[in-house]
Structure 1
Amino acid sequence: MEYQDATKKTLYKKLIRLIAGMVILLIVIAVQPFTYENIDAGNVGIKINLYGSDRGVDNITIVTGRVWYNTWTTKIVEFPTFTQSVDYEPFVVTTKDAAEFKVDPKLNYHVNSTMVPQIYRQYRKPLAEIEQQFMRNTIYDAYRIVANSFSSDSVMSNRERFEDRIQMILTKNLSKDGFIYDQLTSAITPPESLRQMIDEKNASIQARLKAENQAKQADAEAKVKVATATGEAQALLVRAKAESEANRLRQQSLTPLLVQQQWIQKWDGKLPTTQAGGNASFMLPVK
C-alpha cells in the first residue's frame, strides 16, 4: 500500500514537472526575440541596430529574401523600390498677375535602392508618410515657383513649357534625396473668370473660322459658276465660229455657173409663166 502511494506521488511530481516545463517552453517560445522578415521582390530592407555602439541605420542594404534578426536589438524596415503612384489632394497656386489656379497632381516615382538607408536616416519615417510630407511639399514648391513666373493667360497657352519647368525642378529636388521622378500628371484648372474668357475667345475663334470657311466655300462656288459660264460661252462661240465659217465656205462655193447648173438640174422642163393685163403670156428668157 505504501509502495503504491509512493509510486503515485512520483508520477504526480513527474507530471507537474512536465507541465511546468511545457509552460516554460511556451513562454520562452512566445517571448524569444528571434524571427525573420521576408523581403519581397521589388523591395529592399534596411537593418536598424537598437543597441550597441553602432546603433542606428546600417550602411548595408538587405536584399530580397528571408532575413533572420533579433527583435530585441534589431529592427527591419522595408521600402518598396517598384514604381509608386500617388494621387495628391488638390492645392492652389498663384500666378504673377495674382490669378489662382487649382492643381490636382498625380506623381509616379520609384526609390533608388542604393539610397534607401540614407532616406530612412534622413526622414526616419515610412515611405507613405514621406510621400505626404516631404514629397508633397516638394511638388507644391515646384508649382508655386513656376506659377509665379507665368501670367495667367501664358499658363494656358504655354502648358508644355510650364510643365517642363516643373519636371526639371522635381527631377533635381527628388533625385538628390533618393527618389527617381518618372511622371507627373497634373490637372490645372484656371479661375472661373479666366475660364470664361477662354471660352469666349474659343467661341470667337470658332465663329471666325466658320465665317472664313463659308466665305471660302462661297468663293469656290462662285468660281465654279464663272468657270461653267465661261466654258458654255466659249462653247457657243466655237459653235458660232464654226457655223459662220461653214456659211462663208458655202457662199464662196456658190458661183453663178454653179447656181445656174443647179437650177437646170432642178428644172422640170416647164417654162415659168405670168399674167399681165388680159390673157397674154410672156416667156422669161433663161440666162
Structure 2
Amino acid sequence: MKSQSSSWQIPLFLTLVALLAVIGLSSYVIINPGEAGVLSILGKAKDGVLLEGVHFKPPLVSKVDIYDVTVQKFEVPAQSSTKDLQQLSASFAINFRLDPIQVVTIRRTQGTLQNIVAKIIAPQTQESFKIAAARRTVEEAITKRNELKQDFDEALGERLQKYGIIVLDTSVVDLAFSTEFSKAVEEKQIAEQRAQRAVYVAREAEQEAEATINRAKGQAEAQRLLRETLTSELLQKQAIEKWDGKFPQVLGGNGAVPFLNLDTGKVTAPTIKP
C-alpha cells in the first residue's frame, strides 16, 4: 500500500517543484543598462516604465516588452520639389533614441521598433525634407547644403519629439537631382568655360597689341633721340676720328691738292676754275 502511494507522490512532487520553478522564474524580470521595459498584464500595458534593475511581476499572466533606448541609426530616403519646381532626392542617416519615460506610450501606439521606423520616422523624414527643400531653389540646395540640413534637422526634431523619439544627429548620405537639371548644369559649365576661354584669348590679344604699340613707340623715340644727337659737329668729329691721316697718292689732273670734306668724311679734290 505504501509503495503505491509513494509511486504517485514522487511525480507529483517533481511536478510541483517544476511548477514553482516556472512561477518563480516568471515572477521577475531584469532590465539591463540601455533598456526600458513595459509591463503588460493579460495583454494590457500598465503605466510606469521599468528602468534598469530587477522588477517583480505577476507570474504566468504578465509579459514585459523590452525596448532598446540607446542610440539607433537608420537610413531613410526622401524626395521633394524645390522652390523652382526641380525634383530633388536625398538619403538621410538618422541617429535617434527612444525617450525611456515615454516607452509605455510608444508600446501602446506603435508597438515594435520596426513599426516606429516604418510608420513614424520614415514619413516624418519625408515631410521634413519637403519643408526644407521648398524654401530654396535647386542651386541653393547645392551651394547652401548646410542650411538645407539645418532646416531639415529642426523640422524633423520637432515632429518626432511628440512621439517620444529624440533626434540626436542627421547626415545627408546622398543628394541627387533630376537628369534634366544635371544636363543643364553640365551645359552651363561648358558655356562658362568657353566664355572664360574667350575672355582669356581677348586679353592675350589686347596685351600683344599693347606690346606691339609700345615697341613701335620705343623705336620711334629712339630714332628721334638719334636724330637730335647727330649734329653736324658730331658728324665732323666722327669723320676726323675715322680718317687715317693719309692723302690719296694720285692727284687730280689740274695739280690741285685734295682736302678732307668734314661733312662727309671723304677726301675730294677742289675744282679750279680756268
Instruction: Identify the TM-score tier after normalising by the shorter chain.
Output: 0.5 to 0.7
Mind listing any 5+ residue stretches in structure 1 that lack a counterpart?
1-5
Aligned residue type for 1:56? K
Cα displacement (A) at 1:237? 2.8
Task: After TM superposition, list the pairs within 5 Å mapping 1:205-224 onto structure 2.
Answer: 205-219=192-206, 222=208
2:38·2:104 contact (CA, 8 Å) conserved in 1? no
2:69·2:97 contact (CA, 8 Å) conserved in 1? yes
Corresponding position: 1:29 with 2:21? yes
2:81·2:130 contact (CA, 8 Å) conserved in 1? yes
Change (3 A) 1:27 1:210: farther
1:45·1:79 contact (CA, 8 Å) conserved in 2? yes
**CA-to-partner distance for each residue in 1:129-172, whole Å, 9 max, x for gaps?**
21211121211222334445556666556555444332221122
Q: In structure 2, what is the equivalent of residue 46 of structure 1?
A: 37
- Percent identical: 12
Q: Which runs of 4+ in 1 moved over 6 A?
A: 246-249
**CA-to-partner distance for each residue in 1:159-218, whole Å, 9 max, x for gaps?**
554443322211222234332321142634333333333332233223323333444455
Q: State the TM-score, normalized to the length of structure 1.
A: 0.62
Q: In structure 2, what is the equivalent of residue 136 of structure 1?
A: 122
Q: State the TM-score, normalized to the length of structure 2.
A: 0.64
Mind listing any 5+ residue stretches in structure 2 that lack a counterpart?
260-274
1:83·1:109 contact (CA, 8 Å) conserved in 2? yes
Q: In structure 2, what is the equivalent of residue 203 of structure 1?
A: 190
Change (3 A) 1:14 1:241: same
Aligned residues: 254
2:94·2:171 contact (CA, 8 Å) conserved in 1? yes
Aligned residue type for 2:163? D
Distance in 2 between residues matched to 1:200 and 1:243, nearest whole Å: 60
Distance in 1 between residues matched to 2:64 and 2:234, nearest whole Å: 118
**CA-to-partner distance for each residue in 1:51-92, whole Å, 9 max, x for gaps?**
7xx96130x5513xx42433535543333333322112x454
SS of equivalent residue, structure 1 residue 177: coil
